[in-house]
């Protein structure tokens, strides 16, 4: 199973939503974690907008990237343009993408919903891509 790390600055909003989507959409296909350059908290509005669509991320916690080993992950996704600040060993994984999504923190509920929906589309594509790569490697 492919290991996926969603990285963000504070592991509060975007990376937490991505982890929630990936757990649901990639169940049985990918192993997913999220972390930040620094840990903070899971943003209450991120929890709210995810619960609106039936995904509960209230048990997720904010974690620092320094607690993880890059070699345990096949794909690293930066959600905030922070890829330039990631240690090199994280950027040279099999798959590295820098999605550069707007930071909804401090923004309106509509902004949180828009960013959530953008994340869902990208996670769906990522799960498809990684599932295809795995099938090609094993088939």
For residue 115, count other CB atoms closer than 10 A to its CB: 22
Q: Is 100 exposed, middle or buried (0-12, 13-18, 19+ CB in 10 A)?
A: exposed
Q: Which member of 50, 80, 82, 101 is catalytic? A: 80
| 88: enclosing H helix or E strand | helix 88-91
Using alpha carbons, list the distances in angstroms from residue 43 to 16, 47, 91.
9, 7, 26
Q: Which residues lie closer than 8 Å to 23 by C-beta, 6 or more apart?
A: 32
| Residue 8 designated active-site | yes
Four-point Cα dihedral 27, 75, 11, 20, nearest 10: -10
Q: Which member of 8, 17, 127, 130 is catalytic? A: 8
- Give dist(CA 22, CA 28) in Å, integer: 10
| Residue 80 designated active-site | yes
Residues forming the active site = 8, 80
């Amino acid at each position: 199973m492919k290991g996926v790390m969603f990285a963000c600055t504070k592991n509060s909003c975007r990376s937490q939503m991505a982890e929630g989507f990936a757990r649901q959409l990639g169940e049985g296909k990918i192993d997913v974690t999220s972390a930040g350059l620094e840990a903070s908290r899971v943003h209450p509005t991120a929890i709210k907008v995810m619960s609106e669509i039936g995904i509960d991320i209230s048990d997720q916690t904010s974690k620092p990237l320094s607690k993880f080993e890059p070699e345990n992950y096949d794909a690293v996704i930066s959600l905030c343009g922070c890829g330039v600040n990631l240690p090199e060993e994280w950027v040279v994984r099999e798959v590295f993408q820098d999605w550069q999504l707007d930071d909804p923190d401090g923004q309106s509920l509509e902004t949180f919903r828009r960013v959530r929906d953008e994340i869902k589309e990208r996670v769906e594509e990522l799960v498809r891509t990684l599932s295809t790569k795995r099938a090609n490697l094993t088939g």
